[in-house]
Amino acid sequence: MDIYDSLFDAVRSEYDTITLIKKSERGEVSLVRHRDSGIRYIFKHIYGESEVYRKLLSVSCQNLPQIMEVGEKDGRTVILEEYVTGDTLGEILQGGLLTNAEAKQICRQLCAALWVLHSMGVVHRDVKPDNVIIRGKDAVLIDFDASRIYKNANNEDTKILGTTGFAAPEQYGLSQSDGRADIYALGVLLNIMLTGEHPSRKLAAGRMGRIVQRCTMVNPEKRYKNILHLMEAL
């Protein structure tokens, strides 16, 4: 029996489904609980390749969820990953804007998460408030369903994925997205934390606004060269 079948069977026989979190044409995401240990996990059954999730199996980072098991078969992938407890950044922002210090801390932690991903050639491509969970003092970047591996031979992304307002222009087929697409989204996110608005409507004041501007340049060449340069600026 391969990993796909064994993981699928284990989840059905050893876990209880607490709730269906998301269901779409791309698959299902559920919150499950192991019957013996009581530990909760995220279980995903999605259509598509498992390459990104398999790369994350070996990663341990406090700003990324731990990927426990991955199986792939006939174009479908099953994933068991850590359930990160806490409020999403989107939920927190419903209660009001953040201070410069708070926004800066969250951004630096997301930079740390993205540095790990980018070091493996992974582009997240969907950095947004609902994909950031605040666990205690840590910001955790979740949901790699839109993520992809950067491939030198490609001129553009094979699939157009991302969230309107956060997705960089190149994610709409203008060129292949790389780590600078995540820098663009992080700039939008920083601005929203400080102003509640997209930078095209209202730009954050002072130095933070200048950081946002550079992050969100239409031409990727004019953004920060990599995520470490952005982290330094912050």
Task: Provide the annotated active-site residues.
Answer: 126
Q: Which residues of 57-73 are buried (b: 16+ CB within 10 A; e: fewer)?
A: eebeeebbbbbebbbbe
CA atoms of 57 and 67, how far apart (whole Å):
5
> CA 151, 63, 187, 162 torsion: positive or negative?
positive
